[in-house]
Amino acid sequence: MSTLAALARLRALRSGSAQRLATVRHCHLSDRPMVLIPLRLAGEAAAPLAAMVGTDPDHPRLLVVPQPRDRDLRFAFAAELAEVMLPYIESLQKATETVERRGAEPYERCLDAPQLIVPNPGAAAFVRLLGRSTRFRRAEGPFAVHPSVPLLGRWLTFFGQRAGYPGSSLLLSATETLSAHWATGQSALEDANLASLAGWIDPPPGSTGAAAAKEAEDPLIWPPAGPATDPGFDAEVLAPAIRAYEETRSDQAAERVRAAVRSQLEPTWRLMWRAIGLLAALPAGQGCAGRWEADRASFTSFAAQIAEGAPPQPKRDGAVGAAARLARMERARASYDAQRAYDDPLVMAGYRLTGEAFTGTVVSAEPDRTEGEGRGRKLRPLVTVRTTDPVRLAAGTRLGTPERRGQQAELVAIEGEHVTLKIVKGMGRGTTATPGAVPEAGERVCYAALLDEFQPPAALPAPEETPWTHGGPPPEHEPSEDEPEEEWS
Amino acid sequence: MNKDEAKERREVDLDRLDRLRGAVPPRPHDARAIAALAANPGCARRSVLDAAGIDKDATATHLGFPAPFGRSPFAITRGNAFEALVKESGCAELLRLLRELLGLPVAEAAYTDLGDIGGDPSAHLRHAHTRTLLDRAARDGAGAGTLYDHPLLRLEIAGQSAYLEPDVVAFLHGGRFHIVEIKSFAVIDGQAEPDKAAAAARQAAVYVLALKTMLEELGHDPGRVAHDVVLVCPENFANRPAAALVDVRRQLAVLRRQLARMTRVGTLVDALPPGLTFDLAPGDDGVPGRPAAELREAVRAVEARYAPDCLSTCDLCFFCRDEAAGQESTDLLGRQVRDALGGVATVGEALGLADGSREPGEGQEEIARLLRLADRMYAELS
Ligand code: SF4
């Protein structure tokens, strides 16, 4: 945690209301996100109890499993969830744009993509589990399920995997997203409670964040946002209702379970849309659109895979797949960090405090300075910046700057408050700098040891060439005979 | 200190601990509670209360800050059902798993129910029975390949006996004992929820230690208890059990350290005001008769070290959090914040350093400089 974020928490604690950690929003927010709040039966890995889902704040769809231990009811739940989610997902595949690429075939990319918003990381994990427990099912054979069930499973798996990708906004968890933008006067552990976090950020009129957060800890006022339910509710309300349903299997008894879980879900449903409203009120950071574009591309390509009849995602990555994914994630992480800092002076301030970035005023510049002789002569402008930030960078460090995104500089020397830089990239061709490319004396500038640049993917063997030391080539996923009928009890 | 002195000293401690607890019986420690002892080892309040066998849950309730922990009846039912399944027909399913995991030969597999000694035996008797049979097994290797169900072990916690009931002890060919833990959280594609797996390992370490201690007392090599415990969990989404070996050496070391600290709780206790007690003796209506305000003063007399982790590990968490809030302690915000603040103890002090209204003390120059800079940036940018 940076000193800045720590200070923000102190200020929140002292003032009783949350403090900004960001001046802009760092995730994409869809015009029509789908909110999903899953509940599971306590003690079970992936037994859905209920879900509230939908794109319209005023018309949530409530799905309930009146006896969560009943396999058929579970699959009926999955089919019902598919009925809500699949049309939403499919509706976004229709409108596309043609993307031209240098040196490659142009391709079609969906203009928009689905966005799933869940309350917390636990719910995101549950989405993954639900995907895992449904994607291998089959629509025919002895354990046939509705054809929409395995399809839903593959989409849920896609969302779940994409959620681990830095900067992706296809599946957002409300608590994580809110805490990335606001600091509360409580601990990160307590921020995991959505009601309490939202209480700090947006207390009801006449109350303080601290008071609202305290109230949020009473499960009778604010039921947990799931996927776990309140043990007291389980014992006093849910267990008798499920027992009654088990005994009679009547509509009336099913309605009783429904009413019980509705009481637990409705407060969170409203809270979710409040959270979305809070995020929507922040202006989008500059990098959001580019990252969402990558999300759209990933969505488009997964939709194509499904259309082509690709098998469900394997249970585990092979060695090459895992290594490639790790490398991809690391690059995405570095570039996401850099983009956020470039888009948001408050995020950049965290790096300035640790000495990895600095702001200051240009005191002198040599825009047309060159190095080398003859054909090797290169433009290498020098810029000297006066800063009071505690710069901790070694000579030779590559620096980027939010003011001129494509540009790169190299640190030459630090003398007292004066930092000298050499611009090495993005200042124009030939031996004359493009007008405006080199900052002039008097200009406020910021430089940071953060680079957001495309790096070619790490060279890894193709999956079929996985060395034996890493388990050899992964077997093609052959849906095994027992997968569709794998128990789900 | 010679042995007699040590013994005498311990008795004095015990006496003192009894007085701290007052006229109620000590609350027995179970493995979960013992494993939780290691959760916040720096907290004197917890060490003293635990060493004296005080019911922290009841204390918290009487203080007006009931603990936020509850277990869903669904989770309990599921746990019991799964254990019953694994132990069905003389642990048939468990034997199958152990054969695969540890190479237990089929011919040698046997099952002994240590709880089966007739009547309604006391813990003491049951423990003696466990001790006798395991002693015999360790001595002559009799019963290699046996699963001992319902064993009862014992561990001394600050002078009190805690009786502990591991799910099963497996005695193998070659004279090794394995603790078997049956848990109902699922392992999906080889992965379990990390905090559940960690809690299971901590708890299993308690049993390993108790079994080692027992063997040692009987004159056997404690090294005959395997550090690898057998964890049995449902696999994927089915109810079918699967077994895995979990190395608990690290948890064992943490536990040993904490238990050693607790035996030194005497120095903490000596420093407390004489006559101090946390007595919860019930009045005529069954609730503790003592005024809550008095109990609050007593609890406050022992220093706490609140951390947000307490919220998931200690019954007194809401009380201690409230106290920390009253003191504006930076502990409220968590370890990471406290570290980022260079250990500055209160919100007022940190904010004072940040806005320059407070002069940094010795050793605080660096963090004061950072905080001032952060404060300036924050004012400029937010
Ligand atoms: S809740 Fe209080 S008594 Fe318990 S460990 Fe934390 S600080 Fe110590």
- Nearest CB among A3, A316, A489 relative to B374 is that of A3
Of residues B286 and B114, more confidence is placed in B114
Confidence tier at A486 by pLDDT (50, 70, 90): low
Task: Look at A349 and B330 and tell me if their CB atoms are within 8 Å.
Answer: no
Q: Kindly tell me if the per-residue pLDDT of B26 is higher than 80.
A: no
Task: Look at B337 and A1 and tell me if their CB atoms are within 8 Å.
Answer: yes
Give every CB contact of residue B310 below 8 A, 6+ residues apart in sequence.
B39, B40, B316, B317, B320, B321
Confidence tier at A15 by pLDDT (50, 70, 90): very high
- The shortest C-alpha distance from B94 to chain A (Å) reads 20
Query: Taking CA atoms, what residue in A is nearest to B380?
Result: A346
Give the Cα separation of A403 and A462 in Å (integer).
Answer: 40
- The shortest C-alpha distance from A354 to chain B (Å) reads 9
Give the Cα separation of A154 and A135 in Å (integer).
Answer: 5
CA A438 to chain centre: 36
Q: Whose CA is nearest to atom 2 of ligand 1?
A: B320
Lowest mean pLDDT among A7-16, A136-145, A351-360, B106-115: B106-115
Asked if A34 contacts A53 with a C-beta cutoff of 8 angstroms, the reply is yes
**Dihedral of the CA atoms A137, B74, B236, B35 (nearest 10)?**
160
Question: pTM for this structure?
Answer: 0.90
CA-CA distances (angstroms) from residue B290 to B11, B16, B62, B276, B285? 27, 20, 9, 13, 12
Distance A210 CA to ligand 1 centre (A): 22
Buried b (16+ CB within 10 A) or exposed e, A10-22: bbbbeebbbbbbb
Q: Is A5 helix (H, G, I), strand (E, B) or coil?
A: helix
Contacts of residue A231 in chain B, CB cutoff 8 Å?
70-73, 75
Amino acid B257: pLDDT? 86
Amino acid A485: pLDDT? 59
Buried b (16+ CB within 10 A) or exposed e, B184-209: bbbbbeeebeeeebebbbbbbbbbbb
Q: Kindly tell me if the per-residue pLDDT of A452 is higher than 90.
A: no
Amino acid B6: pLDDT? 47
Fold classification of A341-448 is Elongation Factor Tu (Ef-tu); domain 3 (2.40.30)
B48 CB within 6 A, ligand 1: no
Q: Kindly tell me if the per-residue pLDDT of B1 is higher than 60.
A: no
Residue with tokens 């049979």: B133
Give the Cα separation of A44 and A149 in Å (integer).
Answer: 20
> Ligand 1 test: best mutation among B314, B315, B321, B322, most atoms within 8 Å of CB?
B314
Amino acid A173: pLDDT? 97
Give the Cα separation of A412 and A417 in Å (integer).
Answer: 14
> Ligand 1 test: best mutation among B305, B312, B329, B338, most atoms within 8 Å of CB?
B305
Q: Kindly tell me if the per-residue pLDDT of A223 is higher than 90.
A: yes
Give the Cα separation of A29 and A32 in Å (integer).
Answer: 8
Q: Whose CA is nearest to atom 7 of ligand 1?
A: B306
Q: Kindly tell me if the per-residue pLDDT of A428 is higher than 50.
A: yes
Q: Is B236 on the interface with A (CB under 8 A)?
A: yes
Characterise A396 by phi-psi region: left (phi > 0), alpha (psi -120 to 50), beta (else). Answer: left
Q: Kindly tell me if the per-residue pLDDT of A317 is higher than 80.
A: no
Task: Look at A190 and B308 and tell me if their CB atoms are within 8 Å.
Answer: yes
Q: Which amino acid is at A266?
A: E
| Phi and psi at residue A108, to the nearest 5° | -95, 135
- Which of B155, B136, B198, B113 lies closest to B28, judged by CA? B155
Counting atoms of ligand 1 from 1, which one is nearest the CA of B307? 6
B317 CB within 6 A, ligand 1: yes
Lowest mean pLDDT among A170-184, A342-356, B247-261: B247-261
Distance A94 CA to ligand 1 centre (A): 57
Amino acid A478: pLDDT? 52
Tokens of A346: 């408050």
- Nearest CB among A5, A231, A486 relative to B72 is that of A231
Q: Kindly tell me if the per-residue pLDDT of B9 is higher than 80.
A: no
Task: Look at B339 and A390 and tell me if their CB atoms are within 8 Å.
Answer: no
- Which of A407, A395, A170 lies closest to A292, judged by CA? A170
Counting atoms of ligand 1 from 1, which one is nearest the CA of B306? 7
pLDDT (tens digit, 9 = 90+) per residue, A266-282? 999 999 999 999 999 99
Those of residues 168-227 in B touching chain A at CB distance below 8 A are 184-186, 188-190
- The shortest C-alpha distance from B200 to chain A (Å) reads 15
Give the Cα separation of B312 and B332 in Å (integer).
Answer: 14
Confidence tier at A194 by pLDDT (50, 70, 90): very high
Q: Kindly tell me if the per-residue pLDDT of B280 is higher than 60.
A: yes
Contacts of residue B378 in chain A, CB cutoff 8 Å?
4, 7-8, 11, 346, 349
Contacts of residue A217 in chain B, CB cutoff 8 Å?
68
Cα radius of gyration (chain B): 25
Which residue of A1, A2, A4, A10 to mutate against B (max B Cβ within 10 Å)?
Answer: A10
Characterise A101 by phi-psi region: left (phi > 0), alpha (psi -120 to 50), beta (else). Answer: beta
Confidence tier at A245 by pLDDT (50, 70, 90): very high
Give the Cα separation of A74 and A153 in Å (integer).
Answer: 13
Q: Is B343 on the interface with A (CB under 8 A)?
A: no
Interface size, chain A vs chain B, as Cβ–Cβ contacts under 8 Å = 146
Q: Report, as an integer, the average pLDDT of A144-166.
A: 93
- Which of B108, B119, B150 lies closest to B133, judged by CA? B150
Domain ranges of chain B: 3-68+261-297, 73-256, 330-381
Asked if A198 contacts A274 with a C-beta cutoff of 8 angstroms, the reply is yes
Q: Is B293 on the interface with A (CB under 8 A)?
A: no
Give the Cα separation of A315 and B287 in Å (integer).
Answer: 54
Amino acid B233: pLDDT? 94
B60 CB within 6 A, ligand 1: no
Task: Look at A352 and B377 and tell me if their CB atoms are within 8 Å.
Answer: yes
Q: Report the percent of chain A where pLDDT is more than 70.
A: 92
Task: Look at A231 and B370 and tell me if their CB atoms are within 8 Å.
Answer: no
In sign, the C-alpha dihedral spanning A3, A9, A13, A17 is positive
Of residues A33 and A324, more confidence is placed in A33
Q: Kindly tell me if the per-residue pLDDT of B148 is higher than 90.
A: no
Amino acid A441: pLDDT? 93
Q: How far apart are the first and last CA of chain A?
A: 42
Those of residues 37-76 in B touching chain A at CB distance below 8 A are 68, 70-76
If one counts every other C-beta atom within 10 angstroms of the C-beta of residue A239, the result is 17
B358 CB within 6 A, ligand 1: no
Asked if B65 contacts B292 with a C-beta cutoff of 8 angstroms, the reply is no
Task: Look at B378 and A489 and tell me if their CB atoms are within 8 Å.
Answer: no
Distance B319 CA to ligand 1 centre (A): 8
Tokens of A452: 């957001």
Q: CATH code for B73-256?
A: 3.90.320
Confidence tier at B277 by pLDDT (50, 70, 90): confident
Q: Kindly tell me if the per-residue pLDDT of A484 is higher than 70.
A: no
Lowest mean pLDDT among A220-224, A329-333, A393-397, B324-328: A329-333
Task: Look at B188 and A129 and tell me if their CB atoms are within 8 Å.
Answer: yes
Give every CB contact of residue B339 below 8 A, 6+ residues apart in sequence.
A1
Q: Which amino acid is at A217?
A: E
Q: Is the peptide bond before A475 cis (omega within 30 degrees of 0)?
A: no
Amino acid B192: pLDDT? 87
Give the Cα separation of B82 and B76 in Å (integer).
Answer: 10
Q: Report, as an integer, the average pLDDT of A358-373.
A: 92
Distance B299 CA to ligand 1 centre (A): 11
Averaged pLDDT of chain A: 90
Give the Cα separation of B49 and A103 in Å (integer).
Answer: 72
CA-CA distances (angstroms) from residue B314 to A88, A373, B305? 45, 72, 12
Asked if A362 contacts A385 with a C-beta cutoff of 8 angstroms, the reply is yes
If one counts every other C-beta atom within 10 angstroms of the C-beta of residue A262, the result is 15
| Phi and psi at residue A478, to the nearest 5° | -105, 115
pLDDT (tens digit, 9 = 90+) per residue, B90-135? 888 888 888 888 877 666 677 888 877 776 677 788 888 888 888 8
B187 CB within 6 A, ligand 1: no
| Phi and psi at residue A419, to the nearest 5° | -115, 125
Distance B56 CA to ligand 1 centre (A): 10
Asked if B248 contacts B206 with a C-beta cutoff of 8 angstroms, the reply is no
Range among A57-61, B188-192, B342-346 with highest mean pLDDT value:
A57-61
Amino acid A481: pLDDT? 52
- Which of A34, A169, A7 lies closest to A89, judged by CA? A34
Give the Cα separation of A176 and B220 in Å (integer).
Answer: 53
Distance B53 CA to ligand 1 centre (A): 15
Q: Kindly tell me if the per-residue pLDDT of A38 is higher than 50.
A: yes
Asked if A418 contacts A384 with a C-beta cutoff of 8 angstroms, the reply is yes
Query: Taking CA atoms, what residue in B is nearest to A48?
Result: B237
Q: Kindly tell me if the per-residue pLDDT of A157 is higher than 90.
A: yes
pLDDT (tens digit, 9 = 90+) per residue, A19-31? 999 999 999 999 9
B278 CB within 6 A, ligand 1: no
pLDDT (tens digit, 9 = 90+) per residue, B41-90? 778 898 888 888 888 998 999 999 998 888 899 999 999 999 999 988 88
pLDDT (tens digit, 9 = 90+) per residue, B296-306? 988 999 999 99
Distance B305 CA to ligand 1 centre (A): 6
B45 CB within 6 A, ligand 1: yes
Amino acid B11: pLDDT? 47
Give the Cα separation of A9 and A187 in Å (integer).
Answer: 9
